[in-house]
Amino acid sequence: MELQKRLVSLRNQSQLSQEALAEKLYVSRQTISNWERGKTYPDINSLLLIAAYFDVSLDYLIKGDIDMMRKQVDKKRIVQMLLLLALSSFLLGLIGNALQQFTGRNERLLGSLFLIVYLALLFLFLKLLKKSQLKTYRGILAFLQDKKVKQSNFGDESVSLAIFTLVTWLLMFLGGAMGSFLFW
């Protein structure tokens, strides 16, 4: 969180308001405010503009914030993957049921292809969790809420796997039920 402190300091030393700095950096005043409060981080173009405007190095600006930025990127990717998995679980049930209703039989090929896509997404999600050193549902929640991740034991991992399996099954069931209702 050094960037926010450095940005406020540099802006105050130059006797600029947030509005004036925003005009110089081609962003909104709210964006400057978000950067200074640590709510968001500037993109690389904005970092370059800030460094050039205040005549400081990028290293000076972001030293100590690189791990925080990496965590923000990982958090965003984990949320995206969770949403993709939830949506694909739901669609797997919906499409499978719709195909059965329209054709009168199970369309195994299309269903299998969709299942392969789902399993590929699951594999990518698990790879991302491993990279982020997250093993349990509790760990994922703590990570997403910027809390300290507790070390887990085997029991926690088993419960997490059971919860994940149950949620996936429920989403597939919901999709299937909705498919029955819509395509009856």
Segment 15-24, tens digit of pLDDT = 999 999 999 9
Dmax (CA) of the chain: 74
The residue type found at 138 is R
Provide the pLDDT for residue 33: 93
> DSSP secondary-structure letter at 17?
-
Instruction: Please list the ranges in the chain whose pLDDT falls under 50.
Output: 154
Provide the pLDDT for residue 87: 81
Cα–Cα distance measured from residue 93 to residue 170, given in angstroms and rounded to the nearest whole number = 10
Decide if 88 contacts 118 (C-beta within 8 A).
yes
Provide the pLDDT for residue 164: 72
Please identify which residue in the block is written with the tokens 């499978």.
96
- Within 8 A by CB and 6+ apart from 37, the residues are 4
